[in-house]
Amino acid sequence: MKLGSKPDIFQVDGKCIRHVTCDLETDVTIKVGELKFYLHKFPLLSKSIRMQEVVLKASEDNCDEISMVDFPGGASAFEICAKFCYGMTVTLNAYNVVAARCAAEYLEMTEDVDRGNLIFKIEFFLNSSILHSWKDSIIVLKTAKSLLPWSENLKIVGRCIDSIASKTSIDPENITWSYTYNRKLSVQDKIINDGMKLREKIESVPKDWWVEDICELEIDLYKRVMTAVKSKGRMDGAIIGEALKTYAVRWLPDSVEALVSDVHSRGTSY
């Protein structure tokens, strides 16, 4: 999703400085992590309640530099927000949308200060695009891990989990998106995306089509997704068992091999 229309006039000066090139001299310095941003007050104050507060306090304290401590998403997320304030073109995708959303929340870029502000636009993008996409929902859930507790408090984690769990319950005949399915190493069991449209499925979609993709998740998020899948009450227990086995083989292969070996040894001892 692209926001803004003005050209990007952020310039890089060394490793630690970003500044805006225009006729007006910059009048505020924002430090996020190791980066310093030399910007203009007006665009920032017109979009961010938090910036209004910190700029006022800095002025009262006669401070030339404002430090954003523990800024969610770091300097890259702040840069997205700053460019949005200037009306510059920024691109949101599954990999940066969580950081941008958390940063916008930190900066209080709400409808109270400006209509159609960044929080509103990101929420629209999440609800109308990201959460409708199988792969994007998984990517966003993975990126949300590093942005806790912000992503949890903003219900991004919960919404992604519900989106993923709901899609696993869809009738396989209605699956129209690409997914990973390598366990049978059979082309017939895959949906192949040719970049423009989905080709016809050579064979029907397997009921456990979703199992491998969620194996990308870390154990705590995986457990929450599987709990949500089970709570829907529409998934066969055998498929849930297959999903757990696939995850164990993926991340705990030694443990699985040891368990299988133990079972075989016990079987031969009787």
> Residues 79-100: pLDDT tens digits?
999 999 999 999 999 999 999 9
| Greatest pairwise CA separation for the chain in angstroms | 87
Tell me: cis bond preceding 149? Omega within 30 of 0 counts: yes
The model's pLDDT over 16-45, given as tens digits with 9 standing for 90+, comes to 888 888 888 889 999 999 999 999 999 999
In the chain, pLDDT over 70 holds for what percent of residues? Answer: 85
Strands, sheet with 28-32, edge to edge from the N-terminal-most edge strand: 10-12, 17-20, 35-39, 28-32, 65-68
Distance CA 265, CA 5 (A): 68
Identify whether 153 is part of a domain. no
Identify whether 142 is part of a domain. no
> Which tops the pLDDT comparison, 124 or 256?
124
Say yes or no to pLDDT of 103 above 60.
yes
Identify whether 159 is part of a domain. no
Give the total number of structural domains in the chain: 2
* Same-domain pairing of 187 and 85: no
Q: What is the pLDDT of residue 32?
A: 96
Domain boundary residue among 111, 128, 145?
128
* Same-domain pairing of 25 and 76: yes
Q: What is the pLDDT of residue 133?
A: 94
The domain in which residue 200 lies consists of 171-270
Say yes or no to pLDDT of 185 above 50.
no
Q: What is the pLDDT of residue 79?
A: 95
